[in-house]
Structure 1
Amino acid sequence: MQTATTEDAKTYADEMMKRFKLVDMREQYSDIIAEAEANSIGYMDFLIRLLSVEEEGKNARRQEMLLEKANFDSISSLKDIDYSFNHALDREKIEELGKLHFLTAHENIIIIGPPGVGKSMIATGIGMNACNAGKRVLFVNAKELVDKLYEKMTAGYLAETLEKLRKIDLLIIDELSYIKMDRERESLFFQIIRQRYEKSSLIITTNLPMGRWDELFTGQLAATAILDRLLHHCHVLSITGDSYRVKGSKLSVKNGKDI
């Protein structure tokens, strides 16, 4: 009789946890019960243990989903940065930005420097921290972004696309360099900047100093209007030095190896 009652209780517990999507609790509750019995754990501690297992599992799955949806070109954390190679990197500043206070304050980051100095790696590392903190992130190439917006506009889906972008906590626009926008694409880019102004955060990486941003847009007036909003609440990282990729190439040649 006791065995049947126990089995009925287990069946009921399994069904309820499945219904309420308590995935980790359902997988581990038998082991946690055995642990509680072996160590004479009280009811409240037992309950806390069950809840913490479910919380950890849900957080891990959410982080995995957010990282996948972020569309990073590569998986690079801030810990992967080789500060010894390039002393122009402001380690203290980068690590402070990695704490994500700028996200809470709805501030932006602009990372400026020549190709290969780690701009995208820094942006990705900060973005990964944001994903791990439960924030929605999107990493997108600048040209691909404006072309996609133009495509959606011509198809009549611009409003829906802008609404999806509005829900992104951190939008990372990579390689805003050496592209020349026409007036329509410039207007679409400006809509993104205006939409996020003082509401959510942007990270932009670029090879071009801000004094040359008129080369990206239709003229100085448009560049000034965009920079005015970007820079109002902004952290600027200006990086100089050699390229990591050139460094790797030189080492490969020196060692007689292919890249």
Structure 2
Amino acid sequence: MKDMINTAPEHIKSLLKQFKLLDIQLNYEAEIAYAIENNLGHREFLARLLAIEAKGKKERNTERNIKAAKFEGIKTLDGFDFSFPDKINEAKVRDLETLTFINNKENVILIGPPGVGKSHISIALGVLACRNGFKVLFTTAQEFMDKLYASYLQGSLESKFKALRKVDLLIIDELGHFQMDKEKESIFFQIIRQRYEKSSLIITTNIPLGNWDKIFTSKLAATAILDRLMHHCHLISITGDSYRVKGIK
């Protein structure tokens, strides 16, 4: 005697909801009709259902990653005008689209005057990383250090460090718009040290590397930080006028 299987739609939907198969729940009736109409075999029918669920899960994961990244808008490299800057190595930037630098735990530093598109490129790479399943965090240097310093004063800095270790790509925008004191410099150095050869950083700055002692308390401190940042790093230099001044951006 065959086991009796409950095939009532309400029961099937309940099971799909229980196992969190949200996309199959929404589409399985249409897929049954398609399978009957096109005389699909059981394996092909199952494969189609699983493909629908996989696609839906990837889209939801991307949405969660982008929301958690806290980007200042959504950018793409296709939306960047590479012809505008006086100098930029487009091939080098395009190579970063492979995201190999994240898999290899490498860093990216974008250097150039205000308004030449450093933030645009960093966000575009971050969005692409989110769409490929990586966890990303975007923050300005000022806000980042203020929050970490507040955690230090509250005695919760280690929990912040623990959360940051789960981030595959940390994007620190506008490094150089303020000078760090000893305490913030020490916290920043710990971030760099903890991520060294373990996860990736993108930093945008308008300060040439040789002048990073203007950001930190001394040349010695700047050298110690740059030593780790630059060991596995893609350096992108951009020169030109500001997009914003030209009214293009």
Which bracket does the TM-score occupy, shorter chain normalised? over 0.9
Q: Please give the TM-score of this superposition, normalised by the length of structure 1.
A: 0.92
| Cross-structure match for 1:236 | 235
CA distance in structure 2 between the aligned counterparts of 1:19 and 1:178, rounded to whole angstroms: 51
> 2:200 — aligned with what?
201
Q: Are 1:111 and 2:115 matched, yes or no?
A: no
1:256 aligned partner: none
The letter of the residue matching 1:194 is: R
Structure having the larger proportion of residues in helix: 1
Matched, 1:66 2:65: yes
Provide Cα deviations, 1:122-159, integer angstroms capped at 9, x if missing partner: 00000011000010000000011111111001111111
Whole-angstrom CA distance in 2 between matches of 1:104 and 1:203: 14
**Alignment correspondent of 1:45:** 44
Counterpart residue number, 2:53: 54
2:92 counterpart SS class: helix
- Please state how far the C-alpha of 1:213 moved relative to its aligned partner: 0.2
Give the corresponding residue for 1:127: 126
1:32 partnered with 2:38: no
Shift of 1:194: 0.3
Q: Which residue matches 2:92?
A: 93
Distance across 2 between alignment mates of 1:86 and 1:30: 53
Map of 2:137 onto structure 1: 138
1:175 is paired with a residue whose SS is strand
What letter is aligned with 1:121? Answer: H
Q: What's the offset of the Cα at 1:88? A: 1.6
Superposed CA offset, 1:201-249 (max 9, x none):
0000000000000011110000000000000000000000111111117
Shift of 1:89: 2.2
Aligned to 2:221: 222
Offset of residue 6 of structure 1: 9.4
Whole-angstrom distance in 1 between the partners of 2:48 and 2:200: 36
RMSD (Å), alpha carbons: 1.5
> Counterpart in 1 of 2:165?
166
Which residue in the other structure is 1:253 paired with? none
Q: CA deviation at 1:28?
A: 0.2
CA distance in 2, matches of 1:222, 1:133: 35
What's the counterpart of residue 14 of structure 2? 15
> Matched residues, percent identical?
52
Q: Which runs of 5+ in 1 are unaligned?
A: 250-258
Contact 2:107 2:202 in 1 (8 A): yes
Counterpart-to-counterpart distance in 2, 1:112 and 1:139: 17
Q: CA deviation at 1:7?
A: 7.7
Could you tell me how far apart the structure 2 residues matched to 1:113 and 1:105 are?
25
Q: TM-score, normalised by structure 2?
A: 0.96
- What CA deviation, in whole Å up to 9, does each residue of 1:75-99 have, x standing for no partner? 1111110112225222211111011
Cα distance in 1 between the residues matched to 2:18 and 2:209: 55
Q: SS state of the match for residue 8, structure 2?
A: helix
SS in 1 for 2:179: coil
Matches of 2:7 and 2:89, distance apart in 1:
62
Where relative contact order (Cα < 8 A, 6+ residues apart) is larger, the structure is 2
CA distance in 1, matches of 2:229, 2:85: 27
Structure 2 Cα separation of the partners of residues 178 and 8 of structure 1 = 64
Deviation at 1:179, TM superposition (A): 1.1
Preserved CA contact (<8 Å) 2:142 2:177: no
In structure 1, C-alpha distance between the alignment counterparts of 2:86 and 2:58, rounded to whole Å: 36
